[in-house]
Amino acid sequence: KQEVTQIPAALSVPEGENLVLNCSFTDSAIYNLQWFRQDPGKGLTSLLLIQSSQREQTSGRLNASLDKSSGRSTLYIAASQPGDSATYLCAVRDSGYALNFGKGTSLLVTP
Amino acid sequence: GAVVSQHPSWVICKSGTSVKIECRSLDFQATTMFWYRQFPKQSLMLMATSNEGSKATYEQGVEKDKFLINHASLTLSTLTVTSAHPEDSSFYICSAQKWTGGNSPLHFGNGTRLTVT
């Protein structure tokens, strides 16, 4: 069974810092990997989706990389802002077609 | 496009009652819908996978007689929590895809916050 782990569980940084969130998964036979943002009490906002054949995806200040063979992905956030404060979820899609989620990284960006 | 509407967004019910949550794909036909639940400070856990016209496939540990899933049409799936208890209080969220396969985009509803008193 696919296991998805996210490190760190929580992170607090001052505004303007660049930061990296880590995700690892146990079964490399995946279709794709997706990063989401979840605000307290809210649903999911898709940030980036990386297909299994891709190495990275970029959107604005966000960059996600994928190393499928080693079962790792990172989400890089440049020049963090207080509005980036949220929980970031990593999820992989494997043979069952559903997404397998990590527990998330709770990010707080302080002004 | 590709909007999934989930209703209600929050519900409070008394212990022992049943609650129905609806998940509708508004502008596409969803062959498969997935139901997740999320306890506080935990990740989203897959409860079941439902294909239109078929019985849902439940994940290990999820009681199929308690969490009734119906996917009678290509645009609607429902999750009914029967005889709800306080431990069923959670955030429930659905996702839908147009075609079967790992590369079919997944679209999420906004979730339902269930509180059982």
- List, for residues B54-81, the tens digit of each pLDDT value: 889 999 999 999 999 998 899 999 999 9
Q: Cβ(A92)–Cβ(A71) under 8 Å? A: no
Q: What is the mean pLDDT of residues B104-111?
A: 90
Between CA A106 and CA B10 the distance in angstroms is 23
Tell me if A99 and B46 make a contact (CB, 8 A cut-off): yes
- List chain A residues with CB under 8 Å of B108: 43-44, 46
Neighbours of A108 (CB within 10 A): 13
Structure tokens given for B20: 């129905």
Structure tokens given for B15: 């212990």
Q: Cβ(A18)–Cβ(A79) under 8 Å? A: yes
Q: Cβ(B25)–Cβ(B40) under 8 Å? A: no
A6-49 pLDDT per residue, tens: 999 999 999 999 999 999 999 999 999 999 999 988 889 999 99
For chain A positions 44-103, those within 8 Å of chain B (CB to CB) are 44, 46, 51, 89, 91, 93-103
pLDDT of residue A110: 97
Distance from CA of B101 to the nearest CA of A (A): 6
What letter does residue A17 receive in the DSSP assignment? -
* pLDDT of residue B102 exceeding 80: no
Among candidate residues B53, B1, B112, B35, the one with its CA nearest the CA of residue A42: B112
B12-36 pLDDT per residue, tens: 999 999 999 999 999 999 989 999 9
Distance from CA of A87 to the nearest CA of B (A): 10
Q: Show the beta-strand stretches assigned E in chain A.
A: 4-7, 10-14, 19-25, 32-38, 44-51, 56-59, 62-67, 72-77, 86-93, 99-101, 105-110
Tell me if A100 and B46 make a contact (CB, 8 A cut-off): yes
A48-92 pLDDT per residue, tens: 999 999 999 999 999 999 999 999 999 999 999 999 999 999 999
* pLDDT of residue B101 exceeding 80: no
Tell me if B108 and A98 make a contact (CB, 8 A cut-off): no
pLDDT of residue B92: 97
